[in-house]
Chains A and B, each alone.
Chain A
């Protein structure tokens, strides 16, 4: 819809199928929309043109996985997502149509990722029983580095050289989420 609430266009048509749609985000150039959906009991990321055409499923294709919070890289070439998958730990990778999703958070992530403006670093927080640390990693999963021992909700400076963090000293923030962050190149799907 436009800013005044007019010209509304329905882009998904799941009707009474029981599908659950969430977390729709525009690509940086405004030409595409990525969103998460649970259809047929399976959670995945979907991509469509901004007019609702050419919808396709991007996966990941794992069973018992829950996907949320897709975040575009600034150049529109990558998506980072947060997943939850019971009982899975360590580095895990899968391929989708010659491109693929790469799990880049090891250890487990807590909260959605934040992509650096220069596209080089998804940042995420990871919590254990003691505290939440702040990590950065390259989108291919290499170069993972913990840059702060405490912090959640990372945000980037425009020059991609600094991160803000929130250090929560309340025990309620010191929880292990069991989720992870994944990336996939858009052009390869």
Chain B
């Protein structure tokens, strides 16, 4: 398993990978209000 948490701007122009770990298993990222 290798997951990445990413964010993307609504228009798709800005995409960022927030994690860079080997064997990362991630689920359900949530924004702070």
Contacts and interface: CB of A to CB of B under 8 A. Distances in A.
Interface residues of B, number: 21
B12 to A, nearest CB: 4
A137 B2 CA distance: 29
Contacts of A161: 9-10
A160 B30 contact: no
A110 to B, nearest CB: 15
A186 B8 CA distance: 30
Nearest to A161: B10
Contact of A166 (B3, B10, B15): B3
B3 to A, nearest CB: 5
Contacts of B26: 166
Given A146-B12, A148-B12, A164 B31 contact: yes
A148 B33 contact: no
Interface in A129-187: 134, 136, 145-148, 150-151, 153, 155-158, 160-170
A159 to B, nearest CB: 10
Contact of B6 (A116, A148, A156): A148
Contacts of B17: 167
B8 A148 contact: yes
Contacts of A168: 1, 3
Given A155-B29, A163-B8, A166-B5, 15 more contacts: A146-B12, A151-B8, A157-B7, A158-B31, A161-B9, A164-B6, A164-B7, A164-B29, A165-B5, A165-B7, A166-B4, A167-B4, A167-B5, A167-B17, A168-B1
Interface of B: 1-12, 15, 17, 26-31, 33
